[in-house]
């Protein structure tokens, strides 16, 4: 369709509308063919990365592998040794294989403040209990405890894969990964057939399955020995023992997670979207990771740029791999210690207080199937760029850190200057619910922080959907922020 000729005279109202109003446009409209190719290629790289990194440990391992290849060094190995970090130097810290933080030293020292992009790498899922394996009606089942905010019913009757680690009696750590290869078996949580679900269907959605009813079907073939009880269970233990050297007590301290056994796929006839498990928050984590990597070669950035990828966000950012811990302060302290002649606590506080951060986490995309819960004026829409959430929290803004007006204006300015499209990103109508991110824990350290993210449909379900162009815009946006804020 041809555009309007430019010399066609605009009315005064049209001119005022253009000058004064904020029009949020569909980003696909202005794309060149070359950009579209780039967007699709970027999405392919994203799909490949998240298919290999379905858990916080796997995602962290994927990042570390690339970081080492790109010449990042372990900052903990530099501590207590002579020599400092210089502009352009690249460092990382691996936090117990479940979180990772990495940086490129800028021309200005870290004590002048850091430019940070943060995201989380844990996703909602089904965890095993500490003594999970049991037999009932000659089935072997795994007893579970779900992780994060899920609608139970969405996790039944889909193929699940078993991921995780355990430490054997010999003290050796072993990785478990069953259900991802085409040849692998998968697992599932069963549900009642409609024919016998008359009572179940009368219950409210949050009651018709109980958290205790999410047990995973793991086997049905008995071990051939009628002298023992629980022969199906013993058979399963025997298989795990042969494959991994595992014994029953190893489950007690293991971290075993069941995730959807589906790969990330192009979605829609136009392939404009990606359907996958765990876009929350791996879409932001991946784009943040890629944004930081753009500073790994070439001239050092003006300020020190940092990427923070944390664990446990979905359950409140607790624990020593979560954003509530001292992990980010520690990393900043190490940066200061390696870039100043004499380290002091005051310098650390100053570095944090002068720092700027985008807390990048997904936001609810407007869903026409459920339009009544959204505020259409402040919701995020597919294809319209980065959603900015000035505040999070729930009813009465409770529990969120609201970004300061001055900082919001700065971020909007950076996006505008770099032609990065942004839109509003508020989570639903007042009192319809709410949520949080890692932003408030950064804010508690004195960091200026703003929540920004990619719009996602079916958040926290086993198959979430995002727009490819929003993924690409996020990468561009985080990169612009790191360079220019």
Residues that bind Mn ion (CB under 5 A): 280-281, 361
Q: Please tell me the distance from the alpha carbon of residue 106 to that of residue 157, in angstroms, as a whole number.
A: 50
Min dist. Cβ of residue 394 to Mn ion (A)? 14
Q: How far is 125 from 215, CA to CA, in rounded Å? A: 13
The CA distance from 201 to 207, in Å, is: 10
Q: How far apart are CA 90 and CA 103, in angstroms?
A: 6
Position with the least CB separation from Mn ion: 281
Backbone angles phi, psi at 16, to 5 degrees: -65, -40
58 or 281: whose CB is closer to Mn ion? 281
Least gap, CB of 328 to Mn ion (angstroms): 17
The least CB distance from residue 436 to Mn ion, in Å, is 9
In the complex, least distance from residue 300 CB atom to Mn ion, rounded to whole angstroms: 31
Output 89 or 281, the one with its CB closest to Mn ion.
281
- Dump the DSSP string for 141-163: EEEEEEESS--GGGGSSS-EEEE
Minimum separation from the CB atom of position 49 to Mn ion (A): 17
Nearer CB in complex with Mn ion: 304/467: 467
Q: Is 312 exposed, middle or buried (0-12, 13-18, 19+ CB in 10 A)?
A: buried
In which region does residue 150 sit, left (phi positive, over 0), alpha (psi from -120 to 50) or beta (all else)? Answer: beta
| Nearer Cβ to Mn ion (250/361) | 361
Between 117 and 348, CB nearer to Mn ion:
117
The Cα 51–Cα 259 span in angstroms is 11
Nearer to Mn ion, 180 or 280 (CB): 280
* Omega before residue 358 within 30° of 0, cis: no
End-to-end CA distance of the chain: 38
**H helices of 263-311, where?**
279-293
Q: Which is nearer to Mn ion, 347 or 358 (CB)?
A: 358
Distance separating alpha carbons of residues 382 and 380, to the nearest angstrom: 7
Minimum CB–partner distance for residue 93 and Mn ion (Å): 22
Residue 357 Cβ vs Mn ion, minimum distance, rounded to whole Å: 15
């Amino acid at each position: 369709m041809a555009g309007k000729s430019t010399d066609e005279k605009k009315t005064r109202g049209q001119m005022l509308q253009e000058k004064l109003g904020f029009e949020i446009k569909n980003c696909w409209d202005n794309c060149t063919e070359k950009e579209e190719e780039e967007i699709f290629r970027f999405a392919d790289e994203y799909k490949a990365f998240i298919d290999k990194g379905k858990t916080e440990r796997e995602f962290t391992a994927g990042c570390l592998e690339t970081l080492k290849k790109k010449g990042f060094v372990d900052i903990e190995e530099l501590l207590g040794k002579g020599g400092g970090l210089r502009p352009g130097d690249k460092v990382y810290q691996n936090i117990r294989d479940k979180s990772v933080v990495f940086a490129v030293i800028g021309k200005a020292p870290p004590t002048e403040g850091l430019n940070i992009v943060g995201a989380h790498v844990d996703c909602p899922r089904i965890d095993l209990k500490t003594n999970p394996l049991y037999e009932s009606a000659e089935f072997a089942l795994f007893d579970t405890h779900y992780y994060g905010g899920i609608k139970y019913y969405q996790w039944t009757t889909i193929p699940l894969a078993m991921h995780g680690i355990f430490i054997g009696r010999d003290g050796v750590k072993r990785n478990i990964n069953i259900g991802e290869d085409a040849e692998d078996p998968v697992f599932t949580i069963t549900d009642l057939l409609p024919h016998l679900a008359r009572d179940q269907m009368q219950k409210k959605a949050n009651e018709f399955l109980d958290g205790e009813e999410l047990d995973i079907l793991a086997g049905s073939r008995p071990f051939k020995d009628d002298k023992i009880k629980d022969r199906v269970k013993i058979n399963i233990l025997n298989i795990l023992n042969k494959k991994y050297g595992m014994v029953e007590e190893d489950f007690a301290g293991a971290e075993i997670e069941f995730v959807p056994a589906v790969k990330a796929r192009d979605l829609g006839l136009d392939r404009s979207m990606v359907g996958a498990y765990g876009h929350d928050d791996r879409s932001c984590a991946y784009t943040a990771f890629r944004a930081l990597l753009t500073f790994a070669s070439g001239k050092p950035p003006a300020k020190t740029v940092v990427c923070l990828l944390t664990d446990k966000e979905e359950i409140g950012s607790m624990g020593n791999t979560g954003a509530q811990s001292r992990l980010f302060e520690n990393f900043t302290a190490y940066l200061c210690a390696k870039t100043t002649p004499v380290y002091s606590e005051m310098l650390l506080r100053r570095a944090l207080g002068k720092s700027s951060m985008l807390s990048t986490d997904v936001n609810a995309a407007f869903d026409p199937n459920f339009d009544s819960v959204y505020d259409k004026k402040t919701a995020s829409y597919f294809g319209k760029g980065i959603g900015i959430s000035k505040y999070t929290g729930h009813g009465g803004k409770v529990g969120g850190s609201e970004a300061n007006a001055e900082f919001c204006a700065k971020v909007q300015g950076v996006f505008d200057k770099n032609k990065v499209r942004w839109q509003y990103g508020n989570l639903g109508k007042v009192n319809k619910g709410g949520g949080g991110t890692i932003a408030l824990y950064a804010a508690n350290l004195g960091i200026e922080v703003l929540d920004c993210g990619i719009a996602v449909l079916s958040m926290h379900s086993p198959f979430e959907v995002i727009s490819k162009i929003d993924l690409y815009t996020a990468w561009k946006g985080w990169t612009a922020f790191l360079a220019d804020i």
